[in-house]
Amino acid sequence: MIISKTPYRLPLSGGGTDLKFYYSKKGSEFFTTSINEYVYVLLSHRKIDKNYLIQTTQSQFANTLSEIDHILIKETLKYFKVKEKLHIGTFSTVPTRTGLGTSSAMVVGLIYCILEFKNIKLSKKKVYEIAYHIERKTCKIAGGWQDQIISTYGGALKVVISKNEKITINKISFAKNLENIINNNLLLVYTNVKRDSSLVIRSQSNNRKKIIKFYDKIKSLNSEFIKLIKSKNVSKLGELFSFHWSLKKKLSNKISDKKLEKFYENMNKKIDILGHKLIGAGGGGFYLICVKNKKKTIKDLIKNNINFIDLRYEKSGSKIVKL
């Protein structure tokens, strides 16, 4: 039995500029980090059986690869030309379709399981490129590069994508400051709303010129983000998150709605929040909130029966944890 452990990601600044329609015209720059929430992928050879067994939120027996319902698992197995009948299962520590890059993390984790199973060595660069190809090209799931990259590498990264799709990945020099802020001042609050990120992203196809201008503004916030992390100015960082969110909501009417806005308004009456933004493509999932006193905030969230995740920084990317 092979098990991989792959972290989910927290988009920090410049998110969305990794969408092809934007970076092919303007280039992308974004900051991202992995957190202590994970997807575990299990792979086991079914040596005496004639069926695949796929267990995610549903279970399925399949005689052939083409019969597998889960498109990402099916296409990943096809990519690596896996002929053996396998048992593949996934376990996520958070709900899927909530803005943490769960699908991409699962694909990355499955790739590492297959590499271990077939005794193949690949670079991290090749792994995230394959994961991107399977999701975006083969399965036609809309999105950018951020999720595959950070789940593969882990830690805190600055990623630059040129107009001709040259990708440069660097570890953030101020990662220790960022780690302290994540551990002491950031929380994820669950809105209890799931969404299809692909649909939210595709909704941005109208009026591309206007949307590109908004992404220009979002990307321009990167320099301020760096300054605030380096100076550990948590109050101003919270304000920056809120300003970023105000810009992002203008990209599409599917990014936020009255229900999500009401959820935040009600929470903000009970919780002392320095700033916030809905993470991922939008439309549901988690609010990232920045707070002054994390311990007090956690008590208040529990008191008010609000579901949350106490974030911790994760320095490692996807890895095999058990054979």
pLDDT digits (tens, 9 = 90+) for 136-182: 999 999 899 999 999 999 999 999 999 999 999 999 999 999 999 99
Average pLDDT, the chain: 92
Q: What pLDDT shows up at residue 251?
A: 74
CATH 3.30.70.890 range(s) for the chain read: 175-310
- 255-269 burial code (b ≥16 CB/10 A, e <16): bbeeebeebbeebee
Residue 42 neighbours by CB under 8 Å, 6+ apart: 1, 2, 3, 87, 88, 89, 90, 91, 113
pLDDT tens for each residue of 73-89: 999 999 999 999 999 99
Q: What pLDDT shows up at residue 289?
A: 96
Name the pLDDT band for 207 (thresholds 50, 70, 90): low
Q: What pLDDT shows up at residue 204?
A: 58
CATH 3.30.230.10 range(s) for the chain read: 2-173
Q: What pLDDT shows up at residue 194?
A: 63
Q: What pLDDT shows up at residue 202?
A: 59
Structure tokens that stand for 284 in this block: 């549901």
Report the topology of domain 2-173: Ribosomal Protein S5; domain 2 (3.30.230)
Nearest alpha-carbon partner for 195 in 134, 135, 280, 138? 280
Q: What pLDDT shows up at residue 193?
A: 76
Instruction: Flag whether pLDDT at 49 surpasses 90.
Output: no
pLDDT tens for each residue of 221-271: 999 999 999 999 999 999 999 999 888 887 776 677 788 889 889 999 999
Q: Are 68 and 74 in contact (CB under 8 A)?
A: yes
pTM above the 0.95 mark? no
In whole angstroms, what is the distance from residue 212 CA to residue 198 CA?
A: 18
Residue 70: strand, helix, or coil: coil
CATH class, 175-310 region: alpha beta
Q: What pLDDT shows up at residue 138?
A: 97
What's the CA angle centered on 309, arms 152 and 244, to 5 degrees?
75
- 186-203 burial code (b ≥16 CB/10 A, e <16): bbbbbbebebebbebbeb
Residue 16 neighbours by CB under 8 Å, 6+ apart: 22, 30, 144, 215, 218, 248, 251
Name the pLDDT band for 71 (thresholds 50, 70, 90): very high
Structure tokens that stand for 302 in this block: 């529990």
Instruction: Flag whether pLDDT at 195 surpasses 60.
Output: no
Beta pairing partners, 87: 44, 53
Task: Quickly list DSSP for 75-124.
Answer: HHHHHTT--S-EEEEEEESS-SSSSS-HHHHHHHHHHHHHHHHHT----H
For range 29-52, the mean pLDDT: 95
Q: What pLDDT shows up at residue 97?
A: 72
